[in-house]
Amino acid sequence: MINVQTFRRRKLQNCKISMVTCYDFWSAKILNQTDIDCLLVGDSLAVVMHGFESTVHATLEMMKLHTAAVVRGAKDKFVIADMPFLTCSKGIEKGMDAVQELMQAGASAVKIEGAGHQAELIAHIVEAGVPVMGHIGLTPQSIHNLGGHKVQGRREGDALKLIDDAKKLEQAGCFAIVLECIPNKLGDCVSRAVGVPTIGIGAGPLTDGQVLVLHDLIGADPDFSPKFLRRYANVNQLVSRAVGGFHDDVTQQAFPALQETYG
């Protein structure tokens, strides 16, 4: 299993890190059988699992419930849990309470969106022995401030700030940093500027690892197709066909067959 120490080694060895989101027990069991390096219980679960408009609606209760389910299913994986909306903006004590709850739900680390203003809390959490993954670029918890899901760091000043933010996160003690929706070249610059691995989503091929939302990569929602997404399956079609087949069999009295019934 990958751990905080091996993350940095993987960067030095130029050995890319793979991460995928996971929100529930049954998919965690499947992912536990794969070679995927780590699982993220992302606050995107508010959108993907609960149908909310944005990650702003993820609560600590939701994050704890999903984290515990994932950890029960993926016993051999390094599981990172997202600190939900505003849990990092109410002072160190409240932030630490949230960290405690997620770690006691079974997480191996927490992920925090934002840079400069989170540095003090991050340093405190790391000092307390909890690994922290940073997250900069497009930070969906700040969607209302960013004016939508837009590529970040296109202007020179914004790009320089992003590089500076990454350095601040490294200094604060982050073991890895997610870079979301930034230009390819900036993904490379940030990755070269820090000693800890960067994990990109829509940040080009030159980051030290890649993360995708599981439901996106398996094609659960055909209507969601951002530029950075590659689909590896068409689960939407697979599930529709399977359930359609079941429905047809039931209505045509072809299910259950004799061998599927108790004598």
Kindly tell me which residue out of 37, 43, 165, 208 binds ligand KIV, with binding defined by CB under 6 A.
43
Please answer whether residues 53 and 97 qualify as being in contact, where contact means their C-beta atoms are separated by less than 8 angstroms. Answer: no
When the beta carbons of 37 and 82 are compared against ligand KIV, the nearer one is: 82
* Stretch 66-105: interaction string toward ligand KIV, x if CB under 6 A: ----------------x-----------------------
Alpha carbon distances (Å) from 56 to 157, 173, 178: 27, 26, 18
Query: Are residues 83 and 98 in contact, defined by beta-carbon separation less than 8 angstroms?
Result: yes
139 touching ligand KIV, by CB under 6 A? no
**Residues within window 174-213 making contact with ligand KIV, judged by CB under 6 A:** 178, 180, 201, 211, 213
CB of 82 or CB of 103, closer to ligand KIV: 82
- CA torsion, points 228, 188, 45, 220, in degrees to nearest 10? 20
Q: Which two tokens stand for residue 124?
A: 């405190």
180 is catalytic: yes
Shortest Cβ 195–ligand KIV spacing (Å): 21
Determine whether 237 is exposed, middle or buried from the number of CB atoms within 10 Å of its CB (0-12, 13-18, 19+): exposed
Region near ligand KIV per CB under 6 A, out of 25-33, 36-44, 157-165, 168-176: 36-44
Alpha-carbon distance of 48 to 142, in angstroms, equals 18
Amino acid at 91: G
Q: Which of 44, 141, 198, 207 binds ligand KIV (CB under 6 A)?
A: 44
Give contact residues for ligand KIV (rule: CB under 6 A). 21, 40, 42-44, 82, 135, 178, 180, 201, 211, 213
Instruction: Give me the active site residues, please.
Output: 180
